[in-house]
Structure 1
Amino acid sequence: MALCSKCSTLVLVDLWNNDVVFHENLQALVQSAEQGCAFCRLCWTRIQQDCAPADVQLCLAALSLGSQISDVAIYITGELHPVGLVPNEPSQLYVSCGKMPGKVGDLTTNGLFTRLHIFAEPGSPATVLFGERYITVDRNPNLHVDHTRQWLEFCRKHHNVCNYASHPEARRMPTRVIDVGDPDSKTCSRLVLTKDLKNKAEKYISLSYCWGVGVQHAVELRDHNLADLLICLPEKNLTKTHQEAIQLTRELGIRYLWIDSLCIIQDNLGDWESESKRMASVYGGAELTIIAGRAADSREGFVANNYASRKDVPQPVPLMCGPNPLTGEGDLGHLYVCIPRSKAIGPVTSRGWCFQEAIFSTRAILFCEEQLSFRCRMLARWEDGRTAVDGNDASFHLGGPRPGSKPEVLRRWYAMLSDFTSRELTEPNDIFASITSIAQLVHSVVKCRYLAGLWEDDMPRGLMWKARIQLYAGRHPPLTKPKASGRRKGEPKGDEVKRAPSWSWASVQGPVAWIATARREPRYLDEHNICVRPRHEDCWAPLEDWGEPDRLYMPALELHLWGRPVEVRCAAMTVAEYVKSLPEVATTNWGPKHRVYGVLLETLVILPNDNVPNGNTAVAGVGYFDFPDDAKPTRLWCLQLVKAEGLLLTRDVDEKFRRVGWFLVESNGYPEGASEVAVDLV
């Protein structure tokens, strides 16, 4: 690999915490890159990827700008993070125009600044100090096995919290598992019934993966082939992801593996319903979960990392390391410098069923888009050397031994749903089944009824779900109506599916969100701020057979409450026009996003002690329709849930209310004299 005269003499030890002039200016670096120097080309590629074009152009023109830029040199600074420190960052090189800043958060004088990562090849002298690795199809393609073993053993040795879930006394094996066979005797893998095992607390691995759109595996467990698969599993006919999961399980020295399509009887509704309720146990009791993150289709496989084959990824470049910087002795040989790799997991994060699988997995090895990762209850680790203590998202903690207090668990529930609702389900009717294990765990803490995805003790907040596109100014896709997959009898593909009552977040498809921070949640908990109440002694729904968290289907359920619905209509004036018409002294919190997505609502003024309209109109608030492209209802009501906001409703011919959106109250125009009436919400 060709290097220019400057790069061929670079010694990385000389760069640690030291600003070293690399090139006299950016033009010189670019010229060297164009002449074929691999390291200069790596630096120039990264600068173009990571720096603002305006900053790059400024530095390229620096010589003609004279005194406007005082320091035009290109510097390299090294940062060493020895292996074994937790938390940790990769050892890296900083490339900048002008000297590196003196403290974290400072910027270089000229704004041009980027970084490169460093790794050592396995078996080289540098591995005593550098733990970062690079595993691709062209470099160390089998290193994932050793890496997984090391991370797994470290967790087993040091993390009592993680060991608790996988302890034989706590482990409950799934109904069926795959015996991957003894590699020494080359026995055939086969399906086994765990009730027939002598030791019913054997270690096993679980698999979380994307099936793939429209994929039906060549081999799946069915009623008619159960007896055959108990004798032998035809591995050569399995999809590549299944084959690789079996092979990795063998290489890790674990005998049993759980894969959904091979361990749950397909097209057997009774078995599916029974097993789908046990996902917390299946994934929580596994010694390790394999998360095939980078594969969108089970036919692709997940082990091979083709990241470095992309045209936008330059090859790692070897540079001399020099002596051990901690001792000043020896020669550590060569280190490699590369483009930083993303921590993105991949297509598996877009699938609904995979969400709870990740949450309940005590330990997981993740085959991510660009690198390998390991996650447990205590640590998150990456192949490039990054390590985070307790670095998992809030929803992950729900699956641990101490999920938290009731307020904390409810906040995590809403945070979790914000992620979950952005994911896709092949079968839309699986909406509740795919999170039933999480609901069961939350129920064990909140101790109240589970009503179509909402918790009865927190109904005012639960009912106030909102499309994230409306909350965050368009950074998310709009809501759509769930459409049938065509797999269920009587549901033609593409027809709308009613899978939940209109007031439930599960009635729509797409990302929704709640206000669920500790600072803002009192608005939904303070009884003086709440404007509705249940009609049945703290019970919002009258049906006694509802409320269990393991219920898989909840297409219809009425809420019975007392409230003060006010009839409104969509105003001809836009929100922006209304805000502009206000006197300068008037204030409103309706910013740009409200003016883009909101619809001005007006009502006939209701006098304080008289429900007879006086003929004048007033602005009631700004409304947000769940499906703004649909025709607006001819009959429309606002129902305050709390003083600042509430639901936008229409009314059926049977006089029952149905959600069509939500609204924010205009305090100066919203009528306060409406009578409290019985509201049936469907």
Structure 2
Amino acid sequence: MRIIRIDSEGETIRLIETNESDEGVYAALSHCWGPPGVHPVRTTGDTISKYKDATPISELTAVFQDAIWLCKQLHVYDIWIDSLCIIQDDSHDWVTESSKMAQYYSNARFTIAVERSWDSNTHFLRDAEDRWQPLTYSTTDHNGHPVRYTIREHYSHEAYLEGLSNYFKRGKEILLSRGWGLQEAFLSTRLIHFTPSDVMLECRRTRGYFDAYHRHDSPGQTIRERLTRLETWPAWLLSEPVPPAIVLSRQESIHKIWTALINEYTLRTLSFQEDKLPAFGGIASYFTQYFSGRYLAGIWEGQIHVGLCWKVVDTGQTAVRSLALEEPTVPSWSWACLPVGVGVEGRETPIADNFNQNSQVIIHQAECQLSSPNAPFGRVSGGYILLEAPLYKVQIGCVSLSPKHPDWIQHTITWDSDAELSFEPTITFRHDTLLAVQDGKVTKATSGRQLEYLTDVSSFQGTAWVVLLVGLKNDVEGLVLGQVGNGPVYQRLGHVRMSVAHKEMKAPSRALIRIV
């Protein structure tokens, strides 16, 4: 482990290497790098020898200077900073060290979360902007007595996430909207948040504010607090067999927390698409204690049927406007294949009714090719799922939802008559990206040239296939698939949900297919 050693008496720092067994008390920094022109100082193959010597703190960027000053005030003289402790132009070192972030952040005495600075050159130890300063007013009460009261606006990340784009114009640039920042906060045992308006202290159980009058108005507990409650079982449960109902309830709650983390993470931004899995890898490694089987590009093998039933977030708009990636390395069945910023909802209920024997999906094989054996939760270079199930043939059409907005569309599914449904089901289809038709079959659109049908949406007609994965009461859920070539190879196009009991459907012949 590399660490930045702060000179307690002088004004210099050094990059040192320690054995993991020798790790002492240290802090960690969570911050925004900013755009390329204002990136922080970094350790590279050319600069590592420089930083191993005494380096003046004044040569560092503003955020690093502030973090080091704060550590000295708290008598902590080691700090882990990603851009300085990872050799940034060494791909092997980057993969190895980034895969250890769960360890680095969880073992830190505290993490400094810089949510006030949108790049490394902006000091966070500064007065808040005028917008967040308290204002004092004088008036009289109903008896005519003079009254003074003070009001103050507090930054609300919840308000920003709810789509109030004018609420805080720099909201997309700060740490709370950065993909890497989620796991850095989740894994830390203690955080000192420097928000646009406040300073907040947070541990795994509670939060505290320097402003005594600040009432935190976010709904309920944070995700981290919810998980901590589940991890801290009552003492009587440790000495007696745990009732099955409690075990099941706990498993369901942990699964909901996992899906909530995916949902929040996928709405955040990343500078590089290839970081989609690494920036979530620390969280995934933490959850190995709760889920069985291998980790397959964002999905747990032990819950693969339910894990595959993710869907794109309904943002209240009427279209998915993202093109698919031209050369994806993540398999289409993983939520991590989507472009950065496309939010995903996981299925919250992990337990579903079994299909009848003829309709059951049998997973024969599931594989992911890791880009590095040193990073089991990191990048992948492909993957597939080999499954056996009834394969329903469907027709995909398209309708316009607004004459003023050509790209506000909705794709429709027409079920093949061979399914022999006893009544017309209600079908909800959420496509993952924009779609196209090629040789009569529906596929993902990777280029604007494939979207000519937007001028006449009735011209969109193509064949796709559906495999149903889980059933719950009178609802069934599954995947809409597009055929790749002419063989039994398919890619995911989206998620489908039907309000019809699977027992009322005549399943077609079972097929052995590979989803890539």
Q: Which whole-Å CA distance do the structure 2 matches of 1:645 and 1:552 have between them? A: 29
Query: Pick from 239, 242, 256: which aligns with 1:411?
Result: 256
2:208 corresponds to 1:381: yes
Secondary structure in 1 aligned to 2:36? coil
Note if 1:502 corresponds to 2:332.
yes
* Change in CA separation of 1:361 and 1:542 when aligned onto 2, cut-off 3 Å: closer
Amino acid of the structure 1 residue aligned with 2:71: T
Q: Which runs of 5+ in 2 are unaligned?
A: 140-146, 159-170, 234-249, 403-407, 444-461
Q: Does 1:256 align with 2:88?
A: no
Tell me how far apart the structure 2 counterparts of residues 456 and 564 of structure 1 sit (CA, whole Å). 21
Instruction: Please list the CA deviations of residues 437-474 of structure 1 after superposition, one character each: whole Å capped at 9, or x if unmatched.
Output: 211121122131111111112122211111112xx533
Aligned position for 1:188: 12
Tell me by how many angstroms 1:425 deviates.
Answer: 1.2
Matched, 1:225 2:54: no
Alignment partners' CA distance in 1, 2:232 and 2:333: 27
Aligned position for 1:480: 322
SS in 1 for 2:259: helix
Query: 299-308 vs 361-370, which deviates more?
Result: 299-308
Q: Name which of structure 1's ranges 362-371 and 228-237 shifts more when overlaid on structure 2.
A: 228-237
Instruction: Supply the distance in 1 between the matched residues of 2:232 and 2:389 (Cα, whole angstroms).
Output: 34
Q: Which runs of 5+ in 1 are unaligned?
A: 1-174, 321-333, 484-495, 577-595, 610-616
Give matches, 1:83-122, under 5 Å: none
Deviation at 1:180, TM superposition (A): 1.6
Match in the other structure for 1:655: 488
- Residues 273 and 401 (structure 1 numbering): CA distance in 2 closer, same or farther, change over 3 Å? farther
Q: Check the 8 A contact 1:648/1:662 in 2, yes or no.
A: yes
Match for residue 623 of structure 1 among 403, 425, 429: 429
Q: Is the 8 A contact 1:624 1:662 kept in 2?
A: yes
- Aligned residue pair count: 442
Q: Distance in 2 between matches of 1:315 and 1:436?
A: 40
Q: Quick one: distance in 1 between partners of 2:425 and 2:395?
A: 10
For 1:223, what is the secondary structure of its paired residue? coil
Report if the CA contact (8 A) 1:479-1:508 is conserved. Answer: no
- Whole-angstrom distance in 2 between the partners of 1:507 and 1:628: 14
- 8 A contact 1:205–1:256 mirrored in 2: yes
Contact 2:114 2:175 in 1 (8 A): yes
**Distance in 1, Cα, partners of 2:253 & 2:374:** 21
Do the aligned residues in 1 keep the contact of 2:14 with 2:52 (CA within 8 Å)? yes
* Identity between Structure 1 and Structure 2 (%): 24
Please tell me the residue identity of whatever aligns with 1:207.
L
1:48-69 deviation line (CA, Å, top 9, x unaligned): xxxxxxxxxxxxxxxxxxxxxx
CA distance in 1, matches of 2:191, 2:368: 42
The answer to which structure has the higher strand fraction is: 2
- The DSSP-based 3-state class of the residue aligned with 1:370 is coil
Q: 1:658, CA displacement in angstroms? A: 0.9
Give, as a single letter, the amino acid of the residue that structure 1 aligns with 2:254. Answer: V
Question: In the alignment, is the contact (CA less than 8 A) between 1:463 and 1:504 conserved in 2?
Answer: yes
Counterparts of 1:161-172 in structure 2, within 5 Å, are none
Match of 1:342 in 2: 155
Larger radius of gyration between Structure 1 and Structure 2? 1
- Cα offset, 1:555, TM superposition: 3.4
Quote the offset at 1:657 in angstroms. 1.1
What is the aligned counterpart of 1:678 among 509, 512, 516? 512
Alpha-carbon separation, structure 2, partners of 1:335 and 1:635? 70
Check if 1:427 corresponds to 2:272: yes
Say what the alpha-carbon RMSD is for the aligned residues. 3.8
Partner letter of residue 361 of structure 2? R
2:231 to 382, 392, 402: 402
The yes-or-no answer on 1:604 pairing with 2:406 is: no
Partner in structure 2 of residue 317 of structure 1:
136
Is 1:533 aligned to residue 378 of structure 2?
Answer: no
The answer to whether structure 1 residue 265 and structure 2 residue 87 are counterparts is yes
Q: What is the SS of the residue equivalent to 1:557? A: strand
Distance 1:544 1:288, change over 3 A: closer
Is 1:238 aligned to 2:44, yes or no?
no
Letter paired with 1:316: L
Q: 1:361 aligns with which of 188, 205, 215?
A: 188
State how far apart, in whole Å, the 2-side matches of 1:604 and 1:443 are: 41
TM-score, reference length from structure 2: 0.75
SS at match of 1:246: helix
Tell whether the 8 Å contact from 2:113 to 2:193 is kept in structure 1 after alignment: yes
CA 1:541/1:227 → structure 2, altered by over 3 Å: closer, same or farther? closer
Q: Relative contact order (C-alpha < 8 Å, sep 6+): which is higher? A: 2
C-alpha spacing 1:574/1:192, structure 2 compared with 1 (3 Å): closer
**Paired residues of 1:575 and 1:599 also in contact (CA < 8 A):** no
After superposition, what is the alpha-carbon deviation per residue over 1:395-433, rounded to whole angstroms, capped at 9, x for unaligned? Answer: 465589938854333221111000000111111111111
Checking the alignment, whether the CA contact within 8 Å between 2:200 and 2:210 is kept in structure 1 is: yes
The residue number in structure 2 matching 1:98 is none
| Residue 465 of structure 2: aligned partner | 637
Which secondary structure does the structure 2 equivalent of 1:271 belong to? helix
- Per-residue CA deviation, residues 605-651 of structure 1 (Å, 9 max, x unaligned), is 11769xxxxxxx97784433222464544331122122422111110
SS in 1 for 2:92: helix
Kept after mapping to 2: 8 A contact 1:601/1:620: no
- Note the C-alpha offset of 1:179: 1.4
Determine which of 562, 576, 596 is the counterpart of 2:388. 562
Q: Is the 8 A contact 2:399 2:409 kept in 1?
A: no
**Mapped partners of 1:261, 1:434: distance in 2:** 15
Listed one character per residue, the Cα deviations across residues 339-363 of structure 1 (whole Å, up to 9, x for unaligned) are 3423439521111111100001110
User: Whole-Å Cα distance in 2 between the matches of residues 401 and 282 of structure 1?
Assistant: 23
1:600 & 1:515 partners in 2: Cα distance? 22
Displacement of 1:541: 4.3
Distance 1:203 1:343, change over 3 A: farther
Match of 1:393 in 2: 222
> Is the 1:360–1:400 Cα contact (8 Å) retained in structure 2?
no
Measure, in 1, the Cα distance between the counterparts of 2:497 and 2:189: 42
SS class of match (1:556): strand
User: Per-residue CA shift, 1:143-166, capped at 9, x if unaligned?
Assistant: xxxxxxxxxxxxxxxxxxxxxxxx
Counterpart of 2:382 in structure 1: which amino acid? A
1:671 to partner: Cα distance: 4.9
Distance change in 2, residues 1:458/1:287 (3 Å)? same
- d(CA) in 1 for partners of 2:368, 2:155: 50
In the superposition, relative to structure 1, how do residues 531 and 297 fare at CA in structure 2: closer, same or farther (>3 Å)? Answer: farther
Summarize deviations over 1:263-314 as a string: whole Å, max 9, x none: 1111111211111111111111111110001221111122223332x4xx67
Provide the C-alpha distance between the structure 2 equivalents of 1:305 and 1:354, rounded to a whole number of angstroms: 23
Q: Counterparts of 1:70-85 in structure 2 under 5 Å?
A: none
Q: How far, CA to CA, are the matches of 1:307 and 1:505 in structure 2?
A: 38
Report if the CA contact (8 A) 1:264-1:271 is conserved.
Answer: yes
Q: CA deviation at 1:680?
A: 1.1
Whole-Å separation in 1 of the counterparts to 2:480 and 2:272: 29
User: Is 2:502 aligned against 1:665?
Assistant: no
Aligned mates of 1:542, 1:375 — CA distance in 2: 37
Q: Cα gap change, 1:479/1:281 in structure 2, threshold over 3 Å: closer, same or farther?
A: farther
Residue pair 2:25, 2:78 contacting (<8 A) in 1 also: yes
